[in-house]
Amino acid sequence: MRNGLLAIAVSGVLAGCVGATPDCADSETLDLIDQAIVQEVEKYATSTHRIGFSDVPDLYDISNIRVRAYDSSIDSYQCDARVTYVFADRAWSVDFEYRVDTDQSSGETLVEYQNKMLNPVAGFAIGF
């Protein structure tokens, strides 16, 4: 991703056509981002024993989804969006970038996203 920011790759099986990368707002793409958020919330809920913290996956919204670029030669999307988390009557929004590709050998959708997408989760977990 831009500016040397760290990223994590998450993959899931692409339903439908192998080789056709879903776009930035496709349900397959958003499902993979949801999985990453839920996994991170579960990690912090377990480590902090915060009552109610595990409800965070039900209290966030992904909005302002945009295609920043599309590379047809490799069927890859560069995207950005905003995620807004709500916990204990507090909301925190953060803009983040992500990339969507398809692994041509397996047909899996790959979503690579900026770690900062998850920063509010850590902030809520430590009582930010």
For residue 128, the model assigns a pLDDT of 46
For residue 79, the model assigns a pLDDT of 96
CA dihedral 27, 31, 33, 37 (to 10 degrees): 140
Determine how β-strand 90-102 pairs with β-strand 76-87: antiparallel
Name the helix (H) or strand (E) containing 118. none
Per-10-residue mean pLDDT for the chain, 128 residues long?
42 50 94 85 69 64 95 94 83 90 86 84 62
**Domain locations in the chain as residue ranges:** 2-125
For residue 50, the model assigns a pLDDT of 61
Cα-trace Rg, the chain:
15
- pTM for this predicted structure: 0.77
Cβ atoms 102, 14 nearer than 8 A: yes
Cβ atoms 18, 107 nearer than 8 A: yes
